[in-house]
A and B are shown apart, each in its own frame.
Chain A
Amino acid sequence: MADFDWSFFTEVLVGGLLSGVMYSLVAIGFVLIYKTSGVLNFAQGALLLFAALTFVSLVERGLPFALAFLVTFAAMVLIGVAIERTVLRPLTNKPPITLFMATLGLSYIIEGAAQLLWGTQVHGLDLGIEDLPFDVAGVFVSQFDLFAAATAALMVALLSAFFRYSRIGLGFRAVADDPFAALAIGLRLPFIWASVWAAAGLVALVAGLLWGARLGVQFSLSLVVLKALPVLVLGGFDSILGAIVGGLLIGASEKLAEVYLGDLVGGGIEGWFAYVVALAFLLIRPAGLFGQKLVERV
């Protein structure tokens, strides 16, 4: 193809990769919970909504940015601990499908509570980052997306450091490897679980803010989990690295497909294309990119 527009291709690719980072952000929240509790936490989307809505409502009531962030984070930690205490602990050793249904119930509660507390109004969220494109050799790149990517990278670095070097982190890995052995050597599982839920709350808060700035803070925010699920399938439910790489792959391939294949069938294929990519990949490697080999749950 002589007249193939390479700069346009690059633009789509870069845009897709940056969108992929946004998917990864949401996916990481799932991974944290899945690794320790073995449950696909469907309430992650609701948590994200709750965090963003709380933050934006606090800011609108005049709280400074940093304070609002801290208060929301504290609230997320409390919610995480509460979920661990009241929902997951009584359901220990139940089949994963039961746990999954419980997180669905949980998402009803959290969505309801978020709207009851803060109302159903649509809010704008301005993080103070200009979202104008800048030109890199003829390719437009969004500043905001770069910022989001940097934030995601920072968060992954922090989480990795936390799990590598802190006592809780070590415990987390022990639990993820073998909960019974971890219990046998006297690790306090509930404490570790609670900290993981708190970490997932933090991820939800960061993802909620970045997505909230893109979409506005409203009910539909909880739908971004649908973008994260194929990423999880591709990357493996239990791998943070997989979530990142999976996000990039899904983001890039769905955008390229929409632009180049979409025309052939009339467009709008992004919604399911990501799942097909993930599926096709899985047929070759059933445990995902970086997932553990044995995935025989449910």
Chain B
Amino acid sequence: MTLHTRLKTAALAAGIALAALSLPAFTRQALADEQHFPLQSYRVGPYAAGGTGFFGGFIDYLNLINTRDGGVNGVKLTWSEAETQYEVERGVEAYERLKSHQGIAAWNPLSVGIAYAMIDRITADKVPLITINHGRTDSTDGRVFPYVFPLLLNPYSETSGIVNYIASKEGGLEKLKGKKIVVLYHGSPYGKETIPIYELLAQKYGFTLQQIEVPHPGNEQQSQWLTIRRAKPDYVVLRGWGVMNPVALKTAAKTGFPVDHIIGNVWSNSEEDVIPAGEAAKGYTAITTQASGADYPVVKEIVKTLYDQGKGNLEDKKRIGSVYHNLGIVNGILNVEAIRIAQAKFGKRTLTGDEVRWGFEHLQLDPARVEALGAKDLFHSINVTWDNHEGNGYVTFQQWDGTKWKVVSDWIAPDWALLRPIIEKSSEAYAAEKGIKLRTAADAEGVTN
């Protein structure tokens, strides 16, 4: 290659590069009324299984609303995807890239790290950030975090729900006295988050507690499970993540701990967590906010309207109705209903982020409304208010029978009243550190355009 052609190639490459970067990709002007969902999805990398399921379910539901109802009251739902591989800086890049789109309803990153990096940014932009079943516990306090919504379940409620379930198996909270529970947690901020809450509950109900850490990624747990075997607990709570879950179940079997006395938390409850463990997972029970299975009317409609027409988002049809897919569908329902509620107040048009925020703060779906949406028994209910951004979600427990999850409990309520003061203490400390003025109910009613 002569220098001349080389230079020309270089110039061409630089030109293309600049053009590609400066292209306002995905920023089509909103032509008709439409509400947009920018998706920071992850379909590649270590957590791809969760990402494809969740974002698949979310997109499927948005698609169902468009195809079946022609949108929400005629307002079309649109979305664009940017891959993050679950990495924070890719999430930030995706946020900056997608945020200029017209009519953004809400952000749904399904990643604690990315959510944290976005809190300042979305608060400035006045657009809701939804962290269903995860995220920052104290963002439940809407007085301090006006735009963050850890819908259905925060980590503290999850802890309380699990302890209440164990109590129900033993025959009442007073029977917990003298029992021994081991919590096996992932060696990360996520894993450690519930340590003080388990300690609090142990004190309150009088059970003995031992919390054991598994170093990331958790592909070796021999020593932890030998310690557990020696401690002879009545239950083991698995607060795992990714590959740690199947390894825990396998090692439990290997060291002779009965699998039906292991209770998984909300990130240890999917098919991806048990299938690799094979036989060892049979009888394992885990908490969930949304039951799995494809028998719910809304899931059936998705199959009929989308998958039978070849328009479904999941590549593998066997995953329809899986835990992550159903979580995505429930997440879709909550987002769409928040828009619907906000539309009833502000009009049937493209809403601003702050108007959608108002919608989320009035997102009250009782069991009757949930049934009308075709999601009876898929999830229980939600009751978000301006200062309670979690919305008191109920939990249920499912047992793995070797091929599918089976619900084995009623809907259980966590002890919200016990947890609220702890959450407020943390959020008020945050507000003091950042100089945030606590919001009032009147502030929450005010909406900027």
Contacts and interface: CB of A to CB of B under 8 A. Distances in A.
Co-complex (A, B): yes
Contacts of A124: 246, 275-278
Nearest to B187: A268
Nearest to B229: A140
Nearest to B52: A120
Contact of A216 (B44, B246, B254): B246
Given A16-B223, A268-B215, A123 B254 contact: no
B242 interface: yes
A95 interface: no
A122 B49 contact: yes
B253 A218 contact: no
B212 A220 contact: no
Q: Which of the listed residues B49, B219, B256 has the most CB atoms from chain A within 10 Å of its own CB? A: B219
A19 interface: yes
A227 interface: yes
Contacts of B222: 12, 15-16, 19, 255
Contacts of B316: 119, 121
B215 A15 contact: no
Contacts of B279: 131
B247 A214 contact: yes
A224 B222 CA distance: 15
Interface stretch (A178-186, A231-239, A258-266): A258-266
Q: Which of the listed residues B215, B253, B272, B316 has the most CB atoms from chain A within 10 Å of its own CB? A: B215
A57 interface: no
B46 interface: yes
A15 B386 CA distance: 53
Given A120-B43, A220-B46, A215 B278 contact: no
A219 B227 contact: no
Contacts of A268: 187, 213-215
Interface string A195-219: 0000000000000000100111111
Interface in A138-193: 140, 142, 144-145
Contacts of B315: 119
Interface in B180-224: 187, 212-217, 219-220, 222-224
Contacts of B253: 131-132
A259 B255 CA distance: 15
Contacts of B43: 120
A243 interface: no
A115 B48 contact: yes
Interface residues on B, range: 35 or more
B49 A218 contact: yes
Nearest to B273: A122
Contacts of B217: 220, 223
A144 B254 contact: yes
Contacts of A132: 253-254
B243 A270 contact: no
Interface residues on A, range: 35 or more
Interface string B292-334: 0000000000000000000000011000000000000000000
Contacts of B44: 115, 120
Contacts of A216: 243, 246, 275-277
B62 interface: no
B143 interface: no
Contacts of B70: none
Given A126-B278, A215-B219, A223-B219, A12 B243 contact: no
A218 B253 CA distance: 21
A140 B253 CA distance: 11
A255 B223 contact: yes
Contact of B276 (A217, A227, A254, A270): A217
A271 to B, nearest CB: 4
Contact of A270 (B45, B223, B277): B223
B370 interface: no
Contacts of B215: 268-271
B272 A122 contact: yes
Contact of B226 (A215, A220, A259): A259
B226 A11 contact: yes
B190 to A, nearest CB: 13
A285 B287 CA distance: 51
Contacts of B187: 268, 271
Interface in B240-266: 242-243, 246-247, 250, 253-256
A77 interface: no
Contacts of A214: 219, 247, 250
A220 B253 CA distance: 21
B48 A215 contact: no
B152 interface: no
Contacts of B224: 258, 267
Contact of B219 (A119, A217, A220): A220
Contacts of A131: 250, 253-254, 279-280
A181 to B, nearest CB: 38
A5 B230 CA distance: 10
A223 B219 CA distance: 9
A271 B219 CA distance: 10
Contacts of B49: 120-122, 218
A105 interface: no
Interface in B15-60: 43-46, 48-49, 52
Contacts of B214: 268
B219 A15 contact: no
Given A120-B43, A124-B276, A227 B219 contact: yes
Contacts of B227: 259
B218 to A, nearest CB: 9
B276 A218 contact: yes
A214 B253 CA distance: 12
Interface of A: 5, 8, 11-12, 15-16, 19, 115, 119-126, 131-133, 140, 142, 144-145, 211, 214-220, 223-224, 227, 254-256, 258-259, 262, 266-271
Given A8-B226, A268-B213, A270-B215, 12 more contacts: A123-B275, A124-B276, A132-B253, A133-B256, A140-B229, A215-B219, A215-B247, A218-B272, A220-B219, A223-B217, A227-B219, A267-B212
A-B pairs, top 10 by smallest CB distance, nearest first, are A216-B276, A268-B213, A120-B48, A271-B215, A220-B243, A258-B223, A122-B272, A268-B187, A15-B222, A267-B213
Interface of B: 43-46, 48-49, 52, 187, 212-217, 219-220, 222-224, 226-227, 229-230, 242-243, 246-247, 250, 253-256, 272, 275-280, 315-316
25 contacts: A8-B226, A8-B230, A12-B223, A15-B226, A16-B222, A115-B44, A119-B315, A120-B43, A120-B48, A121-B316, A123-B276, A124-B246, A124-B277, A132-B253, A211-B219, A214-B247, A215-B219, A215-B276, A216-B275, A216-B276, A218-B276, A219-B48, A220-B46, A224-B219, A227-B219
